[in-house]
């Protein structure tokens, strides 16, 4: 197994961990964090495949894409947090489908 394989497989694993969190966690903050873990996985894969030919300079294109991706992730995270915060302000809970999961209402505190 080459170094590139290690990176890209680790990236895929991170992506899937984030995906699982995104699907199973009703709390919006957890979903935002899960999305961030997923994007970290994507960046891992991109940085990994940039260097897949041993002995050459890394492909600058995936690097540029990661650079773009980091910034977009930051802004989408901030926007998601602002939405979650506003949902909490309006409804008193920051979890989706509060009626659908086995949890007590945490409104009002």
Partner 1 sequence: MGKVTPKSPLPIRIAALAICAGVGALLSRAVLAIPETESGLAPLVDANLEASGVKNAVTAVLLNFRGYDTLLEIAVLMLATIGVLSLSVTQKGTWDPIAAQADPVLSALARFLAPVMILVSGYLLWAGEHAPGGAFQAGSVVGAAGVLLALSGYARPAWISRFALRAAISVGFIVFIAVAIGEMIAGGLLLQYPADLAKTLMLLVETWLTVSIGAILVSLFIASASPAEELRMRSGGEG
Binding mask 22-41 for partner 1 (x = CB under 8 A): -xxxxx--x-----------
Closest approach, Cβ 10 to partner 1, in A, equals: 10
Tokens of 83: 């939405």
CA distance 28 to 101: 14
89 near partner 1 (CB under 8 A): yes
Residue from the set 31, 39, 43, 48 that interacts with partner 1 by CB under 8 A: 48
Q: Does 91 bind partner 1 (CB under 8 A)?
A: no
* Greatest pairwise CA separation for the chain in angstroms: 60
Count CB neighbours of 102 within 10 A. 4
């Amino acid at each position: 197994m080459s170094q590139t394989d290690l990176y890209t497989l680790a990236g895929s694993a991170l992506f899937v961990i984030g995906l699982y969190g995104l699907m199973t966690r009703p709390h919006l903050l957890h979903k935002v964090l899960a999305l961030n873990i997923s994007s970290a996985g994507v960046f891992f894969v991109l940085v990994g495949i940039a260097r897949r030919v041993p002995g050459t300079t890394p492909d600058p294109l995936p690097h540029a894409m990661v650079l773009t991706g980091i910034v977009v992730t930051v802004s989408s995270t901030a926007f998601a947090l602002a939405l979650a915060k506003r949902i909490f302000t309006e409804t008193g809970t920051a979890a989706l489908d509060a009626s659908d999961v086995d949890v007590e209402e945490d409104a009002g505190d």
